Amino acid sequence: MAWDPQAYATHAAFVPALGSAVLDLLAPKAGERILDLGCGDGVLTERLVATGATVVGIDADSTMVAAAVAKGLDVAVGDGRRLAFDAEFDAVFSNAALHWMGEPAPVVAGVFRALKPGGRFVGEFGGHGNIAAIRVAVRAVLAARGYRVPAQEDNYYPTAEAYRAALEAAGFVVDSCAIIPRPTPIASGMGAWLQTFRGGFIDAAGVPPDKRGQVIEDTRAMLRPILADASGNWIADYVRLRFAAHKPE
């Protein structure tokens, strides 16, 4: 999925804004070398740099990387499933990115290899049940209009037990791993959210550009009785998985 940094900053600012809890869990220290995995446009990367840490960011989307580089950050295009680092980092941090990377084994193995002995892997991403109502509604609308609906989605939204097992299989000691329901207000409205976060899925179903707006409007109409309050404020059914693990000494 391709990202639009300007649209992301406008309609998805809540994503880094809600990253404070996982930053606190990381507890970065001055002088540490930290990898920001899936750094996006670098909003949280800047906060890591402000702690005095030396931070390297990678992201798969070149436009988001360009936005981060424009902030003066040390960021490059990279695939989280093919990390090439070897015992270089005191910590690896990731917020709202791991669910875009698919099956966890290659990602977790690469993170383990990238860390120094004793290094920390701390992050938060979509957990089991994340935006379930939204995902079902999009699929139902696409099917009703005769578009292709993939049998499975590429996003990875595991249970805490499943992700703990993936971390342990890679050699990590898991310090915490929990599912956290987090109903999230969507200030820009559901239409902008769908355009930003599910536009790629809609396009992949074969929806022509001139029909995308109708699919989004149909989805909004289906979700309104469930996710919008009496005043028309939208609250998305976010569920997060927050974890902390470390590589043995």
Over residues 236-249, the pLDDT tens digits come to 999 999 999 999 99
Torsion of CA 159, 44, 195, 150, to 10 degrees: -30
pLDDT (tens digit, 9 = 90+) per residue, 69-84? 999 999 999 999 999 9
Domain range holding 177? 5-246
Residues 6+ apart with CB under 8 A from 121: 91, 92, 108, 111, 112, 115, 167, 172, 243, 244, 245, 246, 247
Q: How many whole angstroms separate alpha carbon 36 and alpha carbon 68?
A: 12
**For the chain, what percentages of helix, strand and coil (3-state, to nearest 5) are there?**
40, 25, 35
The pTM of this model reads: 0.91
Helix (H, G, I), strand (E, B) or coil at 198: coil
pLDDT, tens only, 133-162: 999 999 999 999 999 998 888 899 999 999
Q: How many domains does the chain have?
A: 1
- Give the pLDDT band (50/70/90) at residue 195: very high
Find the CATH number of the domain harbouring 37: 3.40.50.150
What is the rounded CA–CA span in Å between residue 46 and residue 220?
34
Q: With contact defined as beta carbons under 8 Å apart, do 107 and 101 qualify?
A: yes
20 falls in which pLDDT band (50, 70, 90)?
A: confident
